[in-house]
Amino acid sequence: MKRALLFACAVSCVAATTQTWEMSGYQDFSRGRMAGLSLTRDGKLTPGPAVNTIFDSAQADIWSVAQAPDGSFYVGTGNRGRVFHVKQSGESEVVWTAEQPEIFTLIVDPKGIIYAASSPDGKVVRIENGKVSDFFSPGARYIWALALAPDGALMVATGDEGKIFRVTPSGQGSVYYETGQSHVTSLAFDAQGRLLAGSEPNGILYRITAPGKAFVLYNAKFPEIRSILTAPDGSVYAAALGGGVAKKVSAASAAAVSSGSNLPVISTTVTVTADQQSGVTPAPKPEAPKLAAPAAQTTVVSPASTVDTSGSDRSSLFKIWPDNTVETLWTSKEENVYDLALDGSSVVFLTDAQGRIYRLEPNGKTTLMAQAGEGDATRLLASPRGLVAATGNLGKLLRLDAATNSAGWFESPVHDAGTVARWGRLSWRGDARGVVLRTRSGNSARPDTTWSDWSAPLTATGAAVTSPNARFIQWRAEFTGASGGIDDVTVPFLPQNTPPAIRSISVIGAQAPASSARPAQAANTTTSYSVTVTDTADSSGTTSQTISRGPGQQLQVAWVGEDPDGDRLIYNLYFRGEEETEWKLLHGNTTDNYYALESDVVADGRYYFRVTASDRLSNPAELAREAEIVSAPVIVDNTPPVVTAGAPRRMGTRVDIAVDAVDRGSLLRRCEYSVDAGPWFPVESSDGVTDSAQEQFPIRIENVSPGEHLISIRVYDGAGNAGLAKAVVR
pLDDT, tens only, 20-44: 999 999 999 999 999 888 999 889 9
Tell me: pLDDT of 316 over 70. Answer: yes
Tell me: pLDDT of 656 over 80. Answer: yes
Tally helices (H) and strands (E) across the chain: 3, 59
Assign residue 113 a region (left: φ > 0; alpha: ψ between -120 and 50; beta: otherwise): beta
What pLDDT digit, counting tens, does each position of 440-459 carry? 999 999 999 999 999 999 99
Mean pLDDT of 209-228: 95
Give the list of residues 6+ apart from residue 675 with CB closer than 8 angstroms, or none.
701, 704, 709, 710, 711
Mean pLDDT of 273-280: 36
What pLDDT digit, counting tens, does each position of 546-559 carry? 555 455 567 889 99
More confidently predicted of 3 and 633: 633
Confidence of residue 492 (pLDDT cuts 50, 70, 90): very high
Tell me: pLDDT of 274 over 80. Answer: no
- The confidence score (pLDDT) of residue 256 equals 55
Angstrom CA distances, 296 to 261, 264, 293, 300, stand at 11, 11, 9, 11
Mean pLDDT of 321-334: 93
| Spatial contact of 479 and 37, defined as CB atoms under 8 Å apart | yes
- Burial letters 416-440, b for 16+ CB under 10 A, else e: ebbbebebbebbbebebebbbbbbb
Confidence of residue 414 (pLDDT cuts 50, 70, 90): very high
Give the alpha-carbon dihedral of 79, 85, 91, 93, to 10 degrees. Answer: -60
The amino acid at residue 415 is H
The amino acid at residue 157 is A
What pLDDT digit, counting tens, does each position of 500-519 carry? 999 999 987 633 333 333 33
| Spatial contact of 385 and 402, defined as CB atoms under 8 Å apart | yes
Confidence of residue 362 (pLDDT cuts 50, 70, 90): confident
Task: State if pTM tops 0.85.
Answer: no
Confidence of residue 669 (pLDDT cuts 50, 70, 90): very high
Tell me: pLDDT of 306 over 60. Answer: no
Q: Of 125-129, 145-149, 257-261, which gets the smallest average pLDDT? A: 257-261
- The confidence score (pLDDT) of residue 540 equals 41
305 exposure class (CB count in 10 Å sphere: 0-12, 13-18, 19+): middle
Q: What percent of the chain has pLDDT over 70?
A: 81
In this structure, the strands spanning 570-577 and 605-614 are: antiparallel
- The confidence score (pLDDT) of residue 384 equals 85
Tell me: pLDDT of 535 over 80. Answer: no
- The confidence score (pLDDT) of residue 606 equals 86
Tell me: pLDDT of 302 over 80. Answer: no
- The confidence score (pLDDT) of residue 163 equals 97
- The confidence score (pLDDT) of residue 427 equals 95
Mean pLDDT of 125-141: 96
Mean pLDDT of 411-424: 94
| Spatial contact of 253 and 263, defined as CB atoms under 8 Å apart | yes
- The confidence score (pLDDT) of residue 248 equals 65
What's the N-to-C CA distance of the chain in angstroms?
73
The residue ranges of DSSP E strands in 373-469, in sequence order, are 376-383, 386-392, 396-404, 408-411, 415-423, 425-429, 435-442, 463-464
The amino acid at residue 264 is P
Phi, psi of 654 (to 5 degrees): -105, 145
Confidence of residue 277 (pLDDT cuts 50, 70, 90): very low
Mean pLDDT of 63-83: 94
Confidence of residue 142 (pLDDT cuts 50, 70, 90): very high
- The confidence score (pLDDT) of residue 405 equals 67
Q: Of 321-325, 363-367, 411-415, which gets the smallest average pLDDT? A: 363-367
Average pLDDT across the chain, whole number: 83
Angstrom CA distances, 726 to 237, 473, 646, 673, 678, stand at 100, 80, 9, 9, 14
- The confidence score (pLDDT) of residue 532 equals 53
- The confidence score (pLDDT) of residue 258 equals 52
DSSP string, 441-458: EESSSS--TTSPPPPSPB
